[in-house]
């Protein structure tokens, strides 16, 4: 019953947001829904860790990778829900938004998180597709939340590009159903059924289908060259939503590609899909690293860093073996740390009222704890030892050094360029003189606790991975 | 329904996409989309006649309400409210557009894509035409500068995928089809609201007028 409880709790919370005008109740219901989802996700993960998969009804299917992403959604979702309450209160106090906007925010956020949960737990690829489409629909208004021309533009771009991408993905998904045409129209085609019927799949059609699915879901995952919507959308959305978009949604979309990769690999062998993952992974890393050098907006900077990190994850799965294991760990670290960075960026934005790097100086003096969190998260995400991402990068690169030395060199170059670019911007923001009119001091402890909890979790996982999580990662990596 | 009737319907769907490329009036585009959707609904109705399953009739009715009635209604209201008689221009001129349409249609019929159109060998010609309609719809979204044309392009793309799925025997269960239709309806509402908001902010539905994301 865990999965229906998770979905119901978010739907109830959304209904409360629609029907009630009492702000505290709306906030409390959203946090409660996220807390329920957090507990239930841990229970589901424990079951998957012990038995390999969890199929409570034919409608749901959770495998190891799905359980890991469930945990990511639950952790980041809870932190974002808690942070959002104080963040929106401060925005209301500044006169930026009113109660209607607050209600709209929590309703859409609840639906967004519910859609992500459904996407990773749905037993049918079509239900998964509908859920991913639902994430687009629920977030479009969150991206245009501030109702400014630039936000409208970002939201429109997001809606159009993702809709086209997802329709291509839908077409690819349908092509995977060809071996099962006798079941069409009446049967419920599940992921397991697709995997079990690969013997009857024409290899050429499998390749075409994979390309369509790849374009479709990678558009959502923000990999180059379908990434153009991502920096705009992630920089214009409210900071907590950016954390969910960057830290969670990209992973949700990415694992859909991985699920279809498994089916395709069974038909045409592993090299076909791996070559795509390696090629687009390294291109994403390079493009993001070069663009970061010239960034003038710190939220866009973080968005481009997400593109780079999805490139690293893609590279890891492309290399396979230890690379896949490291890629899954990287996915977890990235989700936790990128959310920390976006939430910290939100606090910086509240203080400085600007996302321009040039207008934000002396963060360490004005927001000491947030500044330290931001700096530490920067060191973490760029792979500075002893943090976990340092190890995952080393493992991913070492997995490919023998077979793809040129790719590894380009990836290494991209990492160095990205570090230099990121370092330049972060130091400019952290140090120096605080602009006049900016008073020192954190706005509220509730703006600090959620990012602190996320970075603490990531740091803990850098040195110790709990047994059940290790089993999940091992179980997931074995398929790649 | 005979194969000739189905070919005629698919021919109508294909021609409406070509018309969408050429029309300069928003009302023309909306009418073309309505005709295309009606053809899709008739194709779905044929599936119901062949199987006799009542659930398929429900999906067909749902498609009729969303695609043939509600979508055009939303668009007509938007056009009237904002006085959007003419659609904004295209990136390519008409002769070039026609050349691209011919090239895309030829590509969809080429040997390279033979595995896709031979899924059901008896429907080879129909699947080629459906594939052409898909690619042309994609081209429409890329070539048009108007937000309304882009939205109609996406809906036309979705129609083309559905018709391809029907002729390739890839129809989903009625419950899933209803889910997809609901998704489409929500998408339609959101897209229409966004178009209104874009018009309010930019005074035009020309997407090239959106130039606020330069930082």
- This complex has an ipTM of 0.93
Confidence of residue B125 (pLDDT cuts 50, 70, 90): confident
The predicted structure's pLDDT at residue B116 = 87
The predicted structure's pLDDT at residue B128 = 92
CB contact under 8 A, A156 and B115: no
Which residues of chain A lie closer than 8 angstroms to B176, CB-CB?
124, 126-127, 130, 188
User: Closest Cα partner for A331 from A360, A351, A306?
Assistant: A306
CB pairs under 8 A between A and B: 112
The predicted structure's pLDDT at residue A272 = 95
The predicted structure's pLDDT at residue B150 = 92
User: Closest Cα partner for A294 from A206, A357, A371?
Assistant: A357
CB contact under 8 A, B215 and A297: yes
- Between helices A388-400 and A322-352, what is the axis angle to 10°? 140
Contact present, B140 and A94 (Cβ < 8 Å):
no
CA-to-CA distance for A43 and A167, rounded, in angstroms? Answer: 34
pLDDT in tens, A459-474: 999 999 999 999 999 9
Confidence of residue B145 (pLDDT cuts 50, 70, 90): confident
CA-to-CA distance for B87 and B24, rounded, in angstroms? Answer: 6
User: Closest Cα partner for A258 from A306, A200, A310?
Assistant: A310
Cis geometry, peptide bond prior to residue A246 (ω within 30 degrees of 0): no
User: Closest Cα partner for A420 from A289, A306, A304, A313?
Assistant: A289
Whether B214 shows a pLDDT value over 60: the answer reads no
- The position carrying tokens 């089993």 is A471
Contact A51/B at CB under 8 A: no
CB contact under 8 A, A152 and B198: yes
Best A152, A212, A268 residue to mutate vs chain B (most B CBs within 10 Å): A152
Which residues of chain B lie closer than 8 angstroms to A205, CB-CB?
115-116, 119
CB contact under 8 A, A170 and B190: no
User: Closest Cα partner for A479 from A310, A189, A255, A275?
Assistant: A255
Cis geometry, peptide bond prior to residue A386 (ω within 30 degrees of 0): yes
- Quick one: DSSP state of residue A249? I
pLDDT in tens, B152-208: 999 999 999 999 998 888 877 787 788 888 888 999 999 999 998 888 888 888 888
Best B130, B179, B193 residue to mutate vs chain A (most A CBs within 10 Å): B179
Contact present, B55 and B174 (Cβ < 8 Å):
yes
Confidence of residue B88 (pLDDT cuts 50, 70, 90): low
CA-to-CA distance for B182 and B189, rounded, in angstroms? Answer: 11
Portion 351-380 of A in contact with B at CB < 8 A: 356
Whether B215 shows a pLDDT value over 60: the answer reads no
Contact present, A112 and A138 (Cβ < 8 Å):
yes
Which residues, given as ranges, of chain A have pLDDT below 50?
185
pLDDT in tens, B92-109: 888 899 999 999 999 988
Portion 84-143 of B in contact with A at CB < 8 A: 115-116, 119, 134, 138, 141
The predicted structure's pLDDT at residue A197 = 86
Beta-bridged to residue B146, according to DSSP, are B206
Beta-bridged to residue A122, according to DSSP, are A60
* CA neighbours closer than 13 Å in the CB half-sphere of residue A227: 26
Contact A146/B at CB under 8 A: no
Whether B87 shows a pLDDT value over 90: the answer reads no
pLDDT in tens, A325-335: 999 999 999 99
Which is higher by pLDDT, A197 or B15? B15
Distance from CA of B171 to the nearest CA of A (A): 5
CB contact under 8 A, A167 and B158: yes
User: Closest Cα partner for A154 from A133, A138, A139, A168?
Assistant: A139
CB contact under 8 A, B170 and A177: yes
Question: Which two tokens mark A213?
Answer: 């699915």
For the CA atoms of chain A, what is the radius of gyration?
Answer: 21
A134, A152, A185 member nearest B173 (Cβ)? A185
Distance from CA of B4 to the nearest CA of A (A): 23
Question: Cα–chain-centroid distance for residue B89?
Answer: 19
**Phi, psi (5° rounding) for residue B210?**
-85, 105
Residue A415: how many CB atoms within 10 A of its CB?
18
pLDDT in tens, B27-65: 899 999 999 999 999 999 988 888 888 888 888 999 999
């Amino acid at each position: 019953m865990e999965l229906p409880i998770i979905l119901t709790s978010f739907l109830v919370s959304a209904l409360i947001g629609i029907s009630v005008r009492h702000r505290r109740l709306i906030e409390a219901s959203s946090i409660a829904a996220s807390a329920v989802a957090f507990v239930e996700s841990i229970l589901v993960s424990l079951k998957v860790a012990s038995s390999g998969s969890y199929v409570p009804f034919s409608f749901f299917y959770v495998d190891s990778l799905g359980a890991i992403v469930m945990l990511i959604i639950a952790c980041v979702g809870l932190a974002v829900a808690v942070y959002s309450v104080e963040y929106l209160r401060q925005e209301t106090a500044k006169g930026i938004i009113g109660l209607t906007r607050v209600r709209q925010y929590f309703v859409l956020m609840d639906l967004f998180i519910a859609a992500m949960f459904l996407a990773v737990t749905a037993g049918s690829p079509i239900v998964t597709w509908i859920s991913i489409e639902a994430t687009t629909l629920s977030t479009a208004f969150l991206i245009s939340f501030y109702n400014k021309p630039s936000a409208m533009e970002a939201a429109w771009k997001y809606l159009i590009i993702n809709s086209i991408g997802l329709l291509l993905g839908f077409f690819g998904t349908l092509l995977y159903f060809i071996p099962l045409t006798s079941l069409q129209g009446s049967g419920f085609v599940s992921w397991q059924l697709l995997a079990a019927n690969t013997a009857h799949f024409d290899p050429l059609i499998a390749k075409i289908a994979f390309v369509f699915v790849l374009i479709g879901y990678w558009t959502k995952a923000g990999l180059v060259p379908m990434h153009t919507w991502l920096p705009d959308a992630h920089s214009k959305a409210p900071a907590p939503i950016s954390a969910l978009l960057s830290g969670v949604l990209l992973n949700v979309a990415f694992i859909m590609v991985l699920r279809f990769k498994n089916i395709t690999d069974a038909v045409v062998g592993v090299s076909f899909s791996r070559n795509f993952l390696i090629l687009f992974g390294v291109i994403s890393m390079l493009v993001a690293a070069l663009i970061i050098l010239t960034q003038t907006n710190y939220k866009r900077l973080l968005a481009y860093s997400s593109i780079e990190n999805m490139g690293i994850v893609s590279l890891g799965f492309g290399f396979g073996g230890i690379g896949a294991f490291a890629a899954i760990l990287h996915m977890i670290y990235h989700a936790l740390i990128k959310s920390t960075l976006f939430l910290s960026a939100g606090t910086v934005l509240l203080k400085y009222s600007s996302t321009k790097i040039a207008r934000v100086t002396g963060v360490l003096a004005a927001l000491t704890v947030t500044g330290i969190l931001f700096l530490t998260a920067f060191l973490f995400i760029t792979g500075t030892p002893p943090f976990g991402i340092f190890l995952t990068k080393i493992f991913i690169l070492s997995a490919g050094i023998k077979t793809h030395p040129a790719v590894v060199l380009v990836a290494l170059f991209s990492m160095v360029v990205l570090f230099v670019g990121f370092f330049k911007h972060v130091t400019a923001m952290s140090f120096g003189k605080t602009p006049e009119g900016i008073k020192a001091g954190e706005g509220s402890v509730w703006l600090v606790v959620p990012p602190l909890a996320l970075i603490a979790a990531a740091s803990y996982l850098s040195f110790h991975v709990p047994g059940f999580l290790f089993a999940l990662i091992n179980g997931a990596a074995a398929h790649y | 329904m005979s194969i000739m009737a189905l070919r005629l319907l698919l021919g109508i769907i294909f021609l409406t996409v070509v018309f969408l490329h050429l029309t300069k009036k928003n009302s023309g585009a909306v009418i073309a989309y309505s005709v295309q959707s009606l053809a899709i609904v008739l194709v779905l109705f044929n599936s119901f006649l062949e199987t006799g399953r009542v659930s398929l009739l429900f999906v067909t009715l749902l498609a009729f309400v969303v695609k043939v009635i509600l979508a055009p209604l939303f668009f007509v209201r938007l056009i009237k409210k904002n006085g959007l008689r003419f659609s904004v221009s295209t990136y390519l001129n008409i002769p070039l557009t026609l050349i691209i349409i011919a090239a895309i249609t030829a590509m969809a019929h080429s040997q390279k894509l033979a595995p896709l159109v031979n899924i059901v060998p008896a429907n080879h010609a129909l699947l080629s035409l459906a594939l052409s309609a898909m690619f042309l719809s994609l081209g429409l979204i890329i070539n048009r500068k108007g937000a309304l044309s882009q939205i109609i392009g996406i809906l036309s793309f979705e129609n083309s995928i559905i018709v391809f799925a029907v002729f390739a025997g890839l129809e989903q269960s009625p419950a899933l089809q209803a889910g997809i239709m609901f998704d489409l309806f929500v998408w339609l509402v959101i897209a229409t609201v966004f178009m209104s908001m874009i018009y309010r902010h930019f005074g035009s539905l020309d997407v090239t007028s959106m130039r606020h994301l330069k930082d």
